[in-house]
Structure 1
Amino acid sequence: MLFHFRRKEIPWEVVDSKAIEPVHMYYDEDKDFDISSIGDVDSCGRYVFQVQQSNNTTELQNAVVFARQQLLKEVGKKGYNVLLSESWDLTIYRRGKRHRVQVNYCGRPARIVGDLPTLRPPPFMQVLQDTI
């Protein structure tokens, strides 16, 4: 019997992690809008990005914004057009000189009839200012 040994790979090391609990995105003082349906469960997406530097706040914020856009596209395929509550967590990994960012973005999808309210930025993006 012949055994093939895998080359020893260096694992990804967790450098930092940030998480935001679910936040309601629309309140009573917002423009009136009609909700025709709300999803039974939250929708989540996991997105992984290669970044040049893990301490570049702009790259981290862009990763969170892109993850949100992708999740909105996914829930759009199911007939929803907004997220009533949103949460995210971001983990930065390092292996040698390479860095990777993983964003998990979750939200409660809903369908609004008529004019959509203005899209707000993802919640608590200021947390990323303190990264590394």
Structure 2
Amino acid sequence: MLFHFRRKEIPWEVVGSKAIEPVHMYYDEDKELDITSMGEANTCGTYVFHVQQLKKVEELRNTVVFAKQQLLKEIGKKGFNVLLSESWDVTIYRRGKRHRVQVNYSGRPAHIVGDLPTLRPPPFIQVLQDCI
């Protein structure tokens, strides 16, 4: 009987993490929104990006923006078109020279009738400045 031993893999090391608690995206000073329906709970999406070398903050910001866009597509399939509140967290992993970025993006979906408000960037995206 032959045994094949699995090659020892190097684990991913956590090198950075940032999180933003839920933030309301639309306030009273905005034009009045005609909300017809709202999700019963927050919707969450987890997105993983593999990067050879994470050198620029812009690359990290782009992962969060992309995660938001993907979550908006997902809620669109359920009949919603905006996120009333949003939160996210980013975890950066490293194994040798390679990096992995995991983004968890969450928000309260809603459906608005009429003109949609302008799409805002993810809240507090500037906190990623000191991650790299």
For Structure 1 versus Structure 2, the TM-score category normalised by the shorter chain is over 0.9
Please tell me whether the aligned partners of residues 87 and 107 of structure 2 are also in contact (alpha carbons under 8 angstroms). yes
Shift of 1:91: 0.5
Name the structure 1 match of 2:86.
86
CA–CA distance in 1 between the matches of 2:74 and 2:97?
A: 33
SS in structure 1 at match of 2:80: coil
CA–CA distance in 2 between the matches of 1:55 and 1:24?
A: 31
Is 1:59–2:59 an aligned residue pair? yes
CA–CA distance in 1 between the matches of 2:64 and 2:120?
A: 13
SS in structure 2 at match of 1:47: strand
Name the structure 1 match of 2:40.
40
CA–CA distance in 1 between the matches of 2:55 and 2:42?
A: 30
Shift of 1:75: 0.3
Identity over aligned residues, as a percent? 80
Contiguous gaps of at least 5 residues in structure 1: none
Compute the TM-score of the two structures, normalised by the length of structure 2.
0.96
Name the structure 2 match of 1:31.
31
CA–CA distance in 1 between the matches of 2:100 and 2:57?
A: 14
Shift of 1:2: 4.2
Contiguous gaps of at least 5 residues in structure 2: none
Is 1:68–2:68 an aligned residue pair? yes
Amino acid corresponding to residue 91 of structure 1 in structure 2: T
Name the structure 2 match of 1:108.
108
Q: State the number of aligned residues.
A: 132
Q: Which 4+ stretches in 1 moved above 4 angstroms?
A: none
CA displacement 1:65-87 (0-9 Å, x = unmatched): 00000000000000000000000
Shift of 1:52: 3.7
CA–CA distance in 1 between the matches of 2:31 and 2:51?
A: 38
CA–CA distance in 1 between the matches of 2:127 and 2:55?
A: 13
Shift of 1:55: 4.1
SS in structure 1 at match of 2:41: coil
Name the structure 2 match of 1:117.
117
Compute the TM-score of the two structures, normalised by the length of structure 1.
0.96
